[in-house]
Amino acid sequence: MGEMARGRDKSAINPFIKYILFFENFLVWVVGLAITILGTYILVEKKKLVKDAFDFFLDPSTIMCTAGSIVYNYSLGIVFVGEIALVVFVFVFYFVPEARSSLGLFPGDKMKDAIRKYGVEDDDMVNLIDNIQKSLGCCGLSDEDNGFLDWNSNIYFNCSSRSIEKCSVPPSCCKINEGDTINLLCGRNVMYIDSATDEIKASIDASNKIYTQGCLKALGEWINANAMIIGGIMLGILLPQLFVMCLSRNLQDQIKIQKAKWDRPVRGKDNESYQS
């Protein structure tokens, strides 16, 4: 009789929460596995060798492998903390420039190293830098108004080079109106060597032909102009994760309650042992 009563006890575990979390975990697991496999395949195909942190962060395939493996193992806590850190990075380090400078998060030599590798080692880095420059309307990676002068560090665009592209910048730096034909040499001769000082300077018409601002400078201005939109997007990403965390915590408590029900003594057996 006691066993039948126990069987009729209502389960403390909410089936809606249980299956919602099951399908959500399964979907995240599949997506993470797919991203990891795709990133690994790309790395193997192009025989990518990661030499430093910049090679890692500027290569989409390495980012895919890392992100996919984190999602595959469903380290929600790591993802959540990473997103919070990204929010802090975006808002604090751009609204408080001295913090960024004192921590040295964007060392100039590393930025110039990426410029040096442009067109030399990895096509993915070329595509990434080109897309950044086109999207932000910038040229070079520094946090300067004359960031385009960074390209003098590149073997092809250096003013001391014998290349036809000397004293130039990539086409992705050029100001192109809608409908215009893209001229691959549109950024030609936007720099020159001052014979008096041997310094690299901007040509008179440089600002008319290309974007002169460095991409870190342009990124900071874009963040300042779109801070509310970025905050809303991040909030929209974080809230569903908080909801899942709350559901997980709720399910954990329900499992403990259900285990307590299973472990409690059956009344009929207790009475028999008491009478004996």
- In the chain, the number of structural domains is 1
Instruction: Spell out the per-residue pLDDT of the chain, length 276, in tens.
Output: 445 445 456 777 888 888 888 888 788 788 888 888 888 887 777 776 666 666 666 667 777 777 777 765 656 666 677 777 777 776 666 666 666 666 655 555 667 778 888 887 667 778 888 988 998 999 998 888 899 999 998 988 999 888 888 899 999 999 987 777 777 788 888 998 888 888 888 888 888 899 999 988 888 788 777 877 877 887 787 888 788 888 888 888 888 888 888 877 655 555 554 455
Within a domain: 200 = yes
* Dihedral sign computed on CA atoms, order 101, 103, 106, 108: positive
CA gap 83, 86 in Å, rounded: 5
Q: Which amino acid is at 229?
A: I
The domain of 125 spans: 108-225
CA gap 15, 255 in Å, rounded: 12
Within a domain: 15 = no
Query: Taking a C-beta distance cutoff of 8 angstroms, is the pair 203, 209 a contact?
Result: no
Within a domain: 116 = yes
Within a domain: 220 = yes
Within a domain: 157 = yes
Within a domain: 194 = yes
Within a domain: 52 = no
- Domain CATH for 218: 1.10.1450.10
3-state class (DSSP) for residue 191: strand
For the whole prediction, is pTM greater than 0.85?
A: no
Output the pLDDT for position 234: 79
Within a domain: 49 = no
